[in-house]
Amino acid sequence: MQQRLVDRHPEVPADQLVAQMVPPPTFDEVSFGSYIPDPKEPSQAAAVSKAEQFAEQVTKLRKAADKKPLFGKKKPVHGIGLYLDGGFGVGKTHLLASIFHSVPDPKSFGTFGEVTNLVGALGFNNAVERLSGNSVLCIDEFELDDPGDTMLVSRLLTELTDRGVSIVATSNTLPGQLGEGRFAAQDFLREIKKLGALFEAVRVDGPDYRHRDLPPAPEPTSPELLAEKAAATTDSTLDDFDGLTKHLSTLHPSRYGALIDGVSAVFVSNVHPVTDQAVALRIVVLADRLYDAGIPVTISGAKLDQIFTQEMLDGGYRKKYLRAISRLLALSRFEAPAHA
């Protein structure tokens, strides 16, 4: 019988949320040496060098923090910050994961959404305590979507750096511009500036590697062929688009990773442009988790680059939607595993 994502109702205990904060499988083996800078984009080689230096500094800070003084009290160690800013698909997450792999334990890696979800699941003080022993907290896709997140993250990162935890983040928006176009950023300028002051910003330029020398969005599969492919692919799922988006609304985004655990390929029928922003943002989170897991996506209906309306793309969440399209297109070009 064909599996469906809508039949899955995963539970993720709060105490497992910190333990699972590691780079996605796609970045298990990456290193500074495996990042291949584009010779046409000198900022990429410079970013690799800066990331390596940051990892070395974090390691030295950890050693200093662990060193027992001969006399008197141990001097407090303050964490440092690095902010990798650039467009989609220039290898920022590769560098972020390389830093994670290069520094001492304990350490944590998660998207901005996963970090805020962690605080929501554990409570602020508990989250600070669990993360305060880290050498580093790596935050991918740093974004501020509402005033609450602004205040929460500002307070969290300030407390962690005061306790010696270093912070490295990636984003498509410079720290001083976070929140622009999403809410009344001027009302929270002090908090946004405080966040920006924690980081040294490094630019990473270049075209999206996922689209280099690749054709545009593939034509959708016919409904009949989609069902045949799903049936022929072991451990795959087949869902109707509207049914899937409705199911996503019943799950906390922190469970989306567990929702696709063990799935080899995702097939979705009757895809169409989304007009509801809440639905669109859930699709963004699911696209991130699918991309992290490297799960192929095959669809029928509208093309994947048409999944968000132009009105959506012209709004405050434009960068989120463009990232999701970029990742879904990359997944649509993956080959689904052969059937057993």
Task: Tell me the average pLDDT across 267-279.
Answer: 95
pLDDT for the residue 72: 59
Which comes out higher in pLDDT, residue 49 or 321?
49
Distance CA 189, CA 201 (A): 18
**Confidence class of residue 71 from pLDDT cuts 50, 70 and 90?**
low
184 — alpha (psi -120 to 50), left (phi > 0) or beta? beta
Task: Tell me the average pLDDT across 282-289.
Answer: 93
Residues 171 and 119 in one domain: yes
Which comes out higher in pLDDT, residue 11 or 156?
156
Smallest CA-to-CA distance from 1 within 238, 240, 256 is with 238
DSSP 274: B
Domain that holds residue 176: 31-209
Q: Is residue 141's pLDDT more than 90?
A: no
Q: Where among 172, 187, 209 does a domain terminate?
A: 209
pLDDT for the residue 149: 75
Q: What are the distances in angstroms from CA 288 to CA 26, 196, 202?
A: 12, 25, 23
* pTM of this structure: 0.72
Please give the mean pLDDT across all residues of the chain.
85
Residues 63 and 197 in one domain: yes
pLDDT for the residue 181: 45
Residues 189 and 48 in one domain: yes
Residues 153 and 198 in one domain: yes
Residues 133 and 268 in one domain: no
Q: What is the dihedral of CA 235, 307, 25, 38, to 10 degrees?
A: 140
Convert the pLDDT of each residue in 18-45 to its tens digit: 888 999 887 889 999 999 998 999 999 9
**Confidence class of residue 255 from pLDDT cuts 50, 70 and 90?**
confident
Q: Helices 124-131 and 112-122, interaxial angle, to 10°?
A: 120
For residue 265, being part of any structural domain is answered with: yes
Counting beta carbons within 10 angstroms of the beta carbon of residue 194, is it exposed (0 to 12), middle (13 to 18) or buried (19 or more)?
A: middle
For residue 140, being part of any structural domain is answered with: yes
Residues 259 and 169 in one domain: no
Residues 140 and 43 in one domain: yes
Convert the pLDDT of each residue in 225-242 to its tens digit: 999 999 999 999 999 999
**H or E segment at 150?**
helix 147-162
For residue 10, being part of any structural domain is answered with: no
pLDDT for the residue 147: 66
Domains contained in the chain, number: 2
pLDDT for the residue 184: 41
pLDDT for the residue 179: 46
**Preceding amide of 42 cis, omega within 30:** no
What are the structure tokens assigned to 286, written together? 């699911």
Residues 309 and 235 in one domain: yes
Q: Where among 188, 209, 230 does a domain terminate?
A: 209
For residue 92, being part of any structural domain is answered with: yes
Residues 195 and 238 in one domain: no
CATH of residue 195's domain is: 3.40.50.300
Residues 189 and 245 in one domain: no
HSE at residue 179, side-chain half, CA atoms within 13 A, is 23
For residue 6, being part of any structural domain is answered with: no
pLDDT for the residue 74: 66
Residues 204 and 100 in one domain: yes
Q: Where among 160, 178, 209 does a domain terminate?
A: 209
Please state, as a whole number, how many other Cβ atoms lie within 10 Å of the Cβ of residue 17: 22
Residues 247 and 191 in one domain: no
Q: Please answer whether residues 165 and 76 qualify as being in contact, where contact means their C-beta atoms are separated by less than 8 angstroms.
A: no
Q: Is residue 64's pLDDT more than 70?
A: yes
